[in-house]
Structure 1
Amino acid sequence: MAHFDWRSCFEQLLTELKDTGLNDWAETIKAQLTLRFDDNPHGDLGRWQSALDSLPAIPETVSELNASAVALSSPNELKPSQQQALEAGLRGLMPWRKGPFDFFGTHIDTEWRSDWKWNRVSPYLADLSGRRILDVGCGSGYHCWRMLGEGAGRVIGIDPGLLFMFQFLSVKRFVGEAPIDLLPIRMEDLPESLEAFDTTFSMGVLYHRRSPLDHLLELKGTLRRGGQLVLETLVVDGPEGYSLMPEDRYGQMRNVWFLPSCDTLLRWLDRTGFRNARVVDVCATTTEEQRSTDWMRFNSLQDFLDPEDPSKTIEGYPGPKRATIVAEKP
């Protein structure tokens, strides 16, 4: 079975953390990764590693991180055998949910048009140049690459999904050495009061948390003083104080707990100690932004909406609407 060498994969990051006064966190990460990969390895780990290893070596790779599709290219045309091996390896890492990506002409049309979300969020960001950034619940790391493309000095994404990590590594193996990593850990695995990041993103996470206020406090703990929070989450219409708690599922998702109104969300941010919180975008999610594709063949948003009234979920709740809020830590 193919083996994932996590020690060499994260060696640069762990060394950097130690060199920048975060040695305790580096040691915690090592213990977490030992548990994840050595003591209790995932059953599909070997299959995903084999898919990653099957990607052909392509010298002189050029990366474009500022386009809609995070793109990799080469001045030399790939041989047919290379193109076939490339697509076969990438298909071995399906389903692809967050993107899009372009690998040397092989376009990965992901379930989500994550570039649309980035276009809605990016005008309201503090200048990312040189900043240390945390992306919580980063999926395959699409937005992490866009952050690096905007000049971030260091990007760390966290998401417990191991398939997401291998999709991220499929990009990084062609980009090469870059100050960007995806750690397969959860938010609650981070040390309290880390206070290590200039910008922290949490996009599409809050409604999955049973205690949204605790999540906001955890996010605040990752930021240095004056750091920026970028929060994107499902919301509903309603007055301050109103929040929808689904009876069971929401849009067929089991783990959805609280969908606040925008005014309620601003109150939550105020109560958890953020300042200058403001709603910068509200947008309904459509079946053009989230849908099944050849690279993600399972059910998607069109299957989760009421076929008689697509403005509602299949359970009868208001259809998905997402708000983006930016705020600062005092």
Structure 2
Amino acid sequence: MSIGLLALLDDVAGLVKVAAASLDDIAGQAAKAGVKAAGAVIDDAAVTPNYVHGFEADRELPIVGKIAWGSIKNKLLFLLPAALVLSFFAPWLISPLLMIGGAYLCYEGAEKVFHALAPHNAEAHEAGLEPAAIDPKTLEDQKVAGAVKTDFILSAEIMTIILAAIEVPDFWARTAILAIAGIGITIAVYGAVALIVKADDFGVWTATHARTGFGRATGRGIVRFMPIFMQVLSVIGTAAMTWVGGSIVAHGLIQFGIEGPEHVIEAAAHWAEQALPAIAALAGWLATAVVDFFFGLFLGALLIPVASYVVSPTWKAIKGLLPKRA
């Protein structure tokens, strides 16, 4: 009896070791896949603070929390199952769906540029569109809804990159890697966003309560620096949406036999690497981002009238056919 029990315990210990090794492999795969999605993660972190700008200080963290929770739901409830199903049954659909999301990011980025260059015309355009929230009670609801919608597209790109980087065939291991990487990235992104949006409050507290002159001066410096930093981050966020969207569409067009945009992007990157060999990798990335940005800006500019005169009227007509809620 004791021999049998020892054998059973030995088998259990062996299973635990195998499970631990599998968990280590899953964690390693998730970290590796997350690194490959770093570009989209940085874009996500740059875009999000724009949606908190202009609110009272005591609402900043709750808004970030709402957007983060929406991002978790985007990844786990919608994108993870969709990515797994599409990868097994309809992998050819992944690229067109990503292109639609990329086109939306181009539109969002171009609309922000349009608003900066021609605010009156941009406000007239925005007034003709449906509000972002399904039932917008407050401006905060609209901002959160818009942020979660933009996050959905960036998260779709992140999850697709992670899925492509996974090297294990087992279904449950792939699911675990996607879930771990998605949650880890969300925590990293929105943790960084929370630190960014509360940095000015920390500066005020430090300027008031620090015990040394250097500490108080540091606090005052943070307070003066953060508005400039937020403006720069807003510009980066707009550029990020545009170049990520342009990159997604340009890569996707190859599947439809349209290789011109991708060839231009590759030629620009190659030229930059040759021109600046000391920083070839950085120069190539910057050239790629710049060309992606202008391609996305051009596409987004084309989509602004489409949204005004085709998409919005069609959506309003469809809503008019639906039964009214009490």
Q: TM-score, normalised by structure 1?
A: 0.23
Query: Which structure: larger Rg?
Result: 2
Structure number with the higher helix fraction is 2
Q: TM-score, normalised by structure 2?
A: 0.24
